[in-house]
Amino acid sequence: MPGLLSSPVCLTVIWFLSWSLPPSRAQIWSDEVSDVQFGRLESNVTLACGKSQISVPVVWRHNHSSVSSWHQVTFNGSLVLFLVDQSAQGNYSCYDDSGLLLHSVILRLGYPPGLLSISCRVPNHTFVRCTWKDSVKTFLPAKYNTSFRGKEEKEPTKVCIVDSTNRRCVVEDPAFWQTIHTFGVTETNALGSHTSYRRIRLNELLKPDPPRSVFIEEVEGNPSKLWVTWKNPSSWPEDRFFPLRFHIRYRPQGSMHWSEMMTEENSIEIPDATPYHSNQVQVRARDDVSPESQWSEWSAPSFRTPWRADTTTHPSDDPDDDIYLFSTPPETFTSKTHGVVQEDDGNLGLVILLVLFSIFILTTVLSLIFVIW
């Protein structure tokens, strides 16, 4: 039986069950059901020994040991804790003089919510994501509600779908033509609540994600040209109504000085790449319609050495070729390599199959001869 329990199948089943059981979500809030009292750090906290008046002398215990002497038990049995710090948290219980447990309470300490610092990202015209951070750590579980409002009063408030654990929310299809919006977030915890606001201009915050799949190809027969292609960021609509402008910069690897070009296409030819040398290329994007919007971050650097007469004959002689390891190689390059590898695999498989087949034939023939004999 122990063998069965530790068997891989059994372990897998246990693992699966433990994952499929409903997660104990919002456990922090359900704490409130059992007796939890919240208090403010660095203040005086009074803990009552039950709801009814208690006249007998009582004894308080904290985490099952006696309470430090500087705290005070009042005439009605309440415990007053002076200028509490984090170590005052925990389980407090009070007993009568016969040792009978009268009451117990969990004390959690922290601060009421303060000002939040808010920042918002707009990767396309239909999406706003705002995130916020505490300027003061509260140490307590919190809930958030938000609002996203245009300047015009008539405009209904947009819901920002809140993800409380990651402290962010998302607005879909904001009214982009309204120049100013106000984003508000209210943080509420057991000690209070506070609302922070941020005014935002969507067209100024509009900042696409960087272009992706930047490929550089050599131009056959020309040692100073490179052909660069890229794709729109995946979060940008593939639609002619939302054109992007691209900024390309390139330099010989190791140089300090960039050369630059602009285009609205998804490809460009670099006419003056440095021959026989690895060239570094990056691309960034911006909405072509709103001039006040922001440039995306630069794409990750890609590297390529232009065509040279001897590339096909001695491809691995030059140390520059190692540079390919850092760049995303063009599709044709990878697919060719894969093709070759697969072909090798196929040949090897065929040889193995032939050997196995001949062994099989040999044993059959031998056993037949043996039987006949």
Ligand X SMILES: *[C@@H]1O[C@H](CO)[C@@H](O)[C@H](O)[C@H]1NC(C)=O
Give the H or E element holding residue 358.
Answer: helix 331-372
Query: DSSP states of 45-113 as a string?
Result: EEE-SSSS---S--EEEETTEEPPTTSEE-TTS-EEE-S--GGG-EEEEEE-TT--EEEEEEEEEE---
CA–CA distances in Å: residue 10 to residues 7, 23, 114: 5, 21, 50
* Min dist. Cβ of residue 180 to ligand X (A): 16
Q: Tell me which of 110, 184, 208, 211 binds ligand X, using CB under 6 A.
A: 184
Distance of CA 366 to the CA centre of its chain: 65
Judge residue 238's burial from the number of C-beta atoms within 10 Å of its C-beta, 0-12 exposed, 13-18 middle, 19 or more buried: exposed
What is the C-alpha end-to-end distance of the chain, expressed in Å?
Answer: 52
In the bound complex, what is the minimum distance in angstroms from residue 254's beta carbon to ligand X?
35
The yes or no reply on residue 48 touching ligand X (CB under 6 A) is yes
| Nearest distance in Å: CB 292, ligand X | 19
Among the residue ranges 84-92, 253-261, 331-339, 364-372, the one whose residues contact ligand X (CB under 6 A): 84-92
Q: Which of 7, 12, 30, 43 binds ligand X (CB under 6 A)?
A: 43
Q: How many residues bind ligand X (CB under 6 A)?
A: 33
Q: Are 239 and 267 in contact (CB under 8 A)?
A: no
Is residue 107 within 8 Å of residue 89, measured between CB atoms? yes
Interface stretch with ligand X, choices 134-142, 221-229, 233-241, 296-304 (CB under 6 A): 233-241
- Name the CA radius of gyration of the chain, rounded: 35
Which of 237, 339, 346, 349 binds ligand X (CB under 6 A)? It is 237
Shortest separation between residue 87's beta carbon and ligand X, angstroms: 5
20 or 34: CB nearest ligand X: 34
Binding mask 99-128 for ligand X (x = CB under 6 A): --x--x-x----------------xx-xx-
Stretch that binds ligand X, among 18-26, 74-82, 135-143, 174-182 (CB under 6 A): 74-82
Chosen residue from 38, 73, 90, 223 binding ligand X by CB under 6 A:
90
Smallest CA-to-CA distance from 269 within 304, 305, 306, 225 is with 225
Give 36 or 219: the residue with its C-beta nearer to ligand X. Answer: 36
Q: Does 178 bind ligand X (CB under 6 A)?
A: no
Least Cα distance to 113 among 154, 77, 141, 90 occurs for 141
Distance CA 95, CA 92 (A): 10
Q: Which of 45, 89, 171, 299 binds ligand X (CB under 6 A)?
A: 89
Residue 90: CB atoms within 10 Å: 15
The tokens for 35 are 């007796």
342 binds ligand X (CB under 6 A): no
For position 30 contacting ligand X by CB under 6 A, the verdict is no
Per CB under 6 A, 174 contacts ligand X = no
Does 328 bind ligand X (CB under 6 A)? Our answer is no
> Rounded to the nearest whole angstrom, what is the least distance from the CB of residue 150 to ligand X in the complex?
14
Helix (H), strand (E) at residue 333: helix 331-372
For 187, which DSSP code?
E
User: Which one, of 244, 318, 325, lies nearest residue 277 by Cα?
Assistant: 318
Instruction: Name the residue nearer to ligand X (CB basis): 87 or 342.
Output: 87
Answer yes or no whether residue 210 interacts with ligand X by CB under 6 A. Answer: no
Q: Which is nearer to ligand X, 72 or 337 (CB)?
A: 72
Among 147, 178, 213, 290, binds ligand X (CB under 6 A): 147
Is residue 36 a contact point for ligand X (CB under 6 A)? no
Residue 18: how many other CB atoms lie within 10 Å? 8
Residues at the interface with ligand X (CB under 6 A): 34, 43-44, 46, 48, 63-64, 74, 76, 78, 82, 87, 89-91, 93, 101, 104, 106, 123-124, 126-127, 145-147, 184-186, 195, 235-237
